[in-house]
Amino acid sequence: KAAFINFISDEEWKSIEPVSSWFGPSSFLMSSMSALFKLSMWIRHGHGYLTENLGLPVWGSYAVFGLATLFLGMVLGLVSAALGADGDL
Q: What is the pLDDT of residues 21-70, one digit of tens each?
A: 777 888 888 899 999 999 999 999 999 999 999 999 999 999 999 999 99
d(CA 13, CA 7): 7
Higher-scoring residue by pLDDT: 87, 21? 21
Domain boundaries, given as residue ranges, for the chain: 24-86
- Ramachandran region of residue 11, left (φ > 0), alpha (ψ -120 to 50) or beta? left
Q: pLDDT tier at 87 (50, 70, 90 boundaries)?
A: low
Q: Can you give the pTM of this predicted structure?
A: 0.60
Q: pLDDT tier at 86 (50, 70, 90 boundaries)?
A: low
